Amino acid sequence: MTTSETLFARAQELIPGGVNSPVRAFRSVGGVPVFMQSARGAWLTDVDGKQYVDFINSWGPMILGHAPAVVLDALTKALPDSLSFGAPTRREVELAELLIELVPSLEKVRLVNSGTEATMSAIRVARGYTGRAKILKFEGCYHGHGDSFLIAAGSGALTLGAPDSPGVTEGVARDTLTVPYNDLAAVEAAIAANPDQLAAIIIEPVVGNMGLVEPAPGFLAGLRALCTKHSIVLIFDEVMTGFRLAPGGAQERYGVVPDMTTLGKIIGGGLPVGAYGGRADIMNQVAPAGKVYQAGTLSGNPLATAAGMAQLRYLHEHPEVYQQLETIGTRLADGTRQIAKELGLHYTVNQVGSMFSLFFTPEPVNNLEDAKKANLPAFGRYFHAMLNRGIYLAPSQFEALFISTAITDELVEKYLTACRESLIEAHH
């Protein structure tokens, strides 16, 4: 029995499902999750000493690879000053200045402790600002585990959703509309059916939680126009895409500026963090400036702000990083497509910058229904074949992969060699 198997058996007695976040349990691919011991650069080392090239990178934050010197140095300098104050610090101001300088939509910003906190708070602020109750989200977009976001789609564009999780009330579901991603007509129909009732539309501008799905040409701009016309707050959830797809996130890459933005992951350099912000008139609703209440003991934590500032400043001072990531991402995606084609597997590969997904379906993937057509048993076999070859992928067909600057040309070739062998193994 491996050390991972032993630890997982212990964990299942103590922790629900044996994990502290569901996808880690390997339920959708089978088998026992790998417990990690350490990581540096592109490499993960598990508790049994086996090494893997990491294509998850803590679900996005480790854009410079694991344990980058620039972040470790910042933490080393911050540590002696204590771990938490519950009082304002200089770095909170400096991080806010940097975020506002780099992200087009931000005029004011509030730091929190997670992406879920950021999205929950942004929705509350939008409701307080507009005086409206309902929100609209897109099927397959994940915005954390706030009640408003755990709503399954209704039967059509005009129907309300139903709770997707026990513990979410029907009342919450009544205030949440869901429509397919990339379907502007469905958004228009939902607005028309709920006149002057929508406080916000929230979206992952590039989706990472049904696998990687790109917005159709004109889709984001169309949302912007609809929200402006109907006085709806447009919220871009850039927890994944912020500082990953461009210095200013997806909103910079696609040239569409939302009213509010939520951030996380990269802005903490690997430590727990989140942020929400946007137009000053909206953000001035937040207490103590306004009446919309939101608070957090560890918000603006001195270690998280030190790590995040170090990573963001590095990215700001080295814009060539984004071209490097784009090149690596394209090589991986194109190589995967070519291998699948040579093997007679008509699979879909979606890629935007340093995020990509291999979908085990021959049809284009533009929304959740498309993604659901994937061959999940084949993906599970492929996942384990890659794991056995030292390639660590997301243990779900419906999660994007994230590349770091630590992925070298040599590691690209290692990935592609493993991909070819694993696809063959998965289909025999």
Q: Report how far residue 325's alpha carbon sits from residue 55's, in angstroms, rounded to the nearest whole number.
A: 13
Question: Domains plus CATH for the chain?
Answer: 3-67+319-426 (3.90.1150.10), 69-317 (3.40.640.10)
Peptide linkage before 288 cis (omega within 30 of 0): yes
Left, alpha or beta for 186 (phi > 0: left; psi -120 to 50: alpha)?
A: alpha
Give residue 1's pLDDT.
93
Q: What is the pLDDT of residue 161?
A: 65
| 352, 353, 391 from 414: Cα distances, Å | 21, 20, 9
Structure tokens of 4? Answer: 């991972």
CB 307 within 8 A of CB 270: yes
Rounded Cα distance between 132 and 126, Å, is 8
Q: What is the C-alpha to C-alpha distance for residues 55 and 52, in angstroms, rounded to an integer?
A: 9
In degrees, rounded to 5, the angle at the alpha carbon of residue 14 between the alpha carbons of residues 166 and 38 is 105
Residue 362: which of 381, 378, 374, 346 has the closest Cα? Answer: 346
Is 334 a residue of the active site? no
pLDDT at 156: 46
Whole-angstrom CA distances from 57 to 60, 84, 205, 244 are: 5, 26, 20, 12
* Integer Cα distance of 38 and 46 in angstroms: 7
Distance CA 314, CA 316 (A): 5
Q: Consecutive sets of 10 residues in the chain, 428 residues long: mean pLDDT of each?
A: 96 96 92 97 98 98 98 98 95 97 98 97 98 96 91 56 82 91 97 97 96 98 98 98 98 98 97 98 98 96 97 97 98 98 97 98 96 96 98 96 98 98 95
How far is it, in rounded angstroms, from Cα 200 to Cα 260? 10
* 265 labelled catalytic: yes
- How do strand 162-163 and strand 151-152 relate by DSSP bridges? antiparallel
Which candidate in 52, 142, 276, 314 is catalytic?
A: 142
One-letter-per-residue 3-state SS of 313-382: HHHHHCCHHHHHHHHHHHHHHHHHHHHHHHCCCCCEEEEECCEEEEECCCCCCCCHHHHCCCCHHHHHHH
DSSP string covering 88-112, please? --HHHHHHHHHHHHHSTT-SEEEEE
253: closest CA among 222, 220, 231?
Answer: 220
Q: How many CB atoms lie within 10 A of CB 112?
A: 26
Q: Please name the residues in contact with 178: beta carbons below 8 A apart, sequence gap of 6 or more.
A: 136, 137, 138, 139, 151, 152, 153, 154, 161
Q: Residue 364 corresponds to which amino acid?
A: P
Residue 278 contacts residue 67 (beta carbons within 8 Å):
no
Active-site choice (237, 254, 322, 347): 237
In terms of DSSP bridges, do strands 51-54 and 43-46 run parallel, antiparallel, or are they unpaired? antiparallel
Q: Which listed residue (265, 370, 392, 415) is catalytic?
A: 265
Per-residue model confidence (pLDDT) at position 153: 62
Task: Write down the pLDDT at residue 158.
Answer: 45
Site of tokens 């600057």: 405
Nearest CA among 140, 96, 156, 147 for reference residue 309: 96
Q: Residue 372: which residues within 8 A CB-CB, separation 6 or more?
A: none
Rounded Cα distance, 404 and 386, in Å: 18
**81 is an active site residue:** no
Alpha carbon separation from 174 to 136, 159, 241 (Å, rounded): 11, 10, 29
What residue type is 333 in one-letter code?
A
* Pair of tokens at residue 208: 């990472």
Note if the pTM is more than 0.85: yes
